[in-house]
């Protein structure tokens, strides 16, 4: 990466943060992250934040009673597969 102000670099990293974190969207930014310990910590903690939120909100099985009430409200109870 060419010599840039810290603000410019951070701006690019911020833009990258709106992309797929594992994607190839901005190789230059990824190269910078791997060479700059400060930005790497920032990037790693954003990534960990997303991972934790994803694990915390993992898919739940729909409760049977919720499903039964749904089919009843829709007047489809005779067609509900159990």
Partner 1 sequence: MTETLLVQKAKQGDKQALAQLVSQYSERIYNLALRILRNREDAEDILQETFMTVIEKLHTFDGRSGFFTWIYRIATNASLMKLRKKKVNFTEIPDNMDLHNLVDKESFVDWSHDPLWNIQNKEVKSLLDNAINELSDIYRTVFILRDIEQLSIKETAKILNISEENVKIRLRRARLFLREKLSEHFSERVIES
47 contacts 21 by C-beta, under 8 angstroms = yes
Residues 28-67 contacting partner 1, CB under 8 A = 37-38, 41-42, 44-50, 52-57, 59-62, 66-67
CB of 1 to partner 1, least distance (A): 16
Comparison of 35 and 47: residue with beta carbon closer to partner 1: 47
The rounded distance, in Å, linking the Cα atoms of 22 and 26 is 10
**Three-state DSSP class for residue 75:** coil
Residues 6+ apart with CB under 8 A from 15: 26, 29
CB of 24 to partner 1, least distance (A): 14
The rounded distance, in Å, linking the Cα atoms of 3 and 28 is 13
Residue numbers of the site for partner 1 (CB under 8 A)?
6-7, 10-11, 14-15, 17-19, 37-38, 41-42, 44-50, 52-57, 59-62, 66-67, 69-71, 73-74, 76, 79-81
């Amino acid at each position: 990466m060419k010599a840039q102000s810290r603000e410019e670099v951070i701006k690019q990293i911020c833009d990258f943060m709106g992309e797929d974190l594992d994607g190839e969207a901005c190789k230059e930014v990824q190269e910078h992250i791997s060479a700059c310990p400060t930005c790497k910590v920032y990037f790693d903690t954003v990534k960990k934040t997303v991972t934790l939120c994803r694990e915390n909100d993992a898919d739940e099985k729909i409760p049977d009673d919720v499903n039964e009430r749904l089919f009843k409200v829709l007047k489809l109870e005779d067609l509900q597969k159990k």
